[in-house]
Amino acid sequence: MGVLPVAPVRHRSCAAMRSTTHSLAGGAAAGAAALACLPHSPLAAAGAITFGTVVAGELPDLDVAGSRLSRGSRARHARGLMRTPLLLLAIPAVLLGLLTRLLLKPLGRLGAHRGATHTLVGLVVFTIMIPPAYFGCALGLLHVLPALHPAAHEPATDLARSLAGHAPSVLAVLSLSTLAGVGSHLALDWLTPSGIPAAAPFSTRRYHAPLTVRTGSMAELPITALMLLLWAIVVLNALER
């Protein structure tokens, strides 16, 4: 079976759900998945909700240079971190920034917005990229950050060792959160008129719900409100554990 190009979505204003809706849905889905699969670990649920809200829920929109996640992860935004007590966050920020700068243009050529990253194959790829990204951050903390800031050698080394020591449990949470968060993103974009190329690169067909919701219309407000309600319910459940 040949590989087919994905038809691009040119008018993003009426194509995709808003970032806030995706973030809330990502956090709710990731948190619910963690509560269901890891019921005796409230810390896992908290981590899943945070990662799902901040990252996983918006990962598919890395194919848009102006998306909130791609803007926030640019390397230049990490420069300030390098001069503050938060400098340990700089390595993950720089790595994610470099990743977006390297991948945004190629992903755009594969189908502009709502292309390669909005597929079932993309969902799998995002999930399996979590372990190498995780260990890449650990190696960065162990070798790169101390070279840039010798004074940070001891805390960076301790954090890197902690990441390695807790790798199985943390990777389980991050992978589960990514699967749930990205899945929620695809589900929401499936509700829009342009749909998603779920079966790409094997088919150019775009799938959408029988009844669709146009982004920015009054019809999207109840969906955002519902995502906020679900997010709050998941957070409250996590706090009660």
pLDDT in tens, 88-116: 444 454 555 555 555 545 554 555 556 78
State the average pLDDT over residues 158-165: 81
State the average pLDDT over residues 199-224: 89
More confident residue, 79 or 169: 169
Cα–Cα distance measured from residue 236 to residue 241, given in angstroms and rounded to the nearest whole number: 9
Half-sphere exposure of 117 (CA within 13 A, CB side): 27
Q: What percent of the chain has pLDDT over 70?
A: 70
pLDDT band at 82 (very low <50, low <70, confident <90, very high): very low
Tell if the pTM clears 0.95, that is, is over it.
no
Answer whether residue 5 shows pLDDT above 70.
Answer: no
CA distances from 83 to 30, 73, 87, 148, 149 (A): 32, 17, 6, 11, 10
Cα–Cα distance measured from residue 232 to residue 117, given in angstroms and rounded to the nearest whole number: 28
For 24-38, 179-193, 203-217, which range has the lowest pLDDT when averaged over its residues? 203-217
Cα–Cα distance measured from residue 164 to residue 160, given in angstroms and rounded to the nearest whole number: 6
Identify the pLDDT of residue 70: 56
Beta carbons of 55 and 176 less than 8 angstroms apart = no
pLDDT band at 12 (very low <50, low <70, confident <90, very high): very low
Beta carbons of 184 and 26 less than 8 angstroms apart = yes
pLDDT band at 142 (very low <50, low <70, confident <90, very high): confident
Beta carbons of 140 and 93 less than 8 angstroms apart = no
pLDDT band at 157 (very low <50, low <70, confident <90, very high): confident
Helix H or strand E segment including 22: helix 19-37
Answer whether residue 210 shows pLDDT above 90.
Answer: yes
Average pLDDT, the chain: 77
Cα–Cα distance measured from residue 125 to residue 94, given in angstroms and rounded to the nearest whole number: 21
State the average pLDDT over residues 139-144: 74
State the average pLDDT over residues 8-13: 46
Beta carbons of 59 and 193 less than 8 angstroms apart = no
More confident residue, 29 or 6: 29
Cα–Cα distance measured from residue 98 to residue 94, given in angstroms and rounded to the nearest whole number: 6
**Residues contacting residue 106 through CB under 8 Å, at least 6 positions apart:** none
Answer whether residue 79 shows pLDDT above 80.
Answer: no
Answer whether residue 4 shows pLDDT above 50.
Answer: no
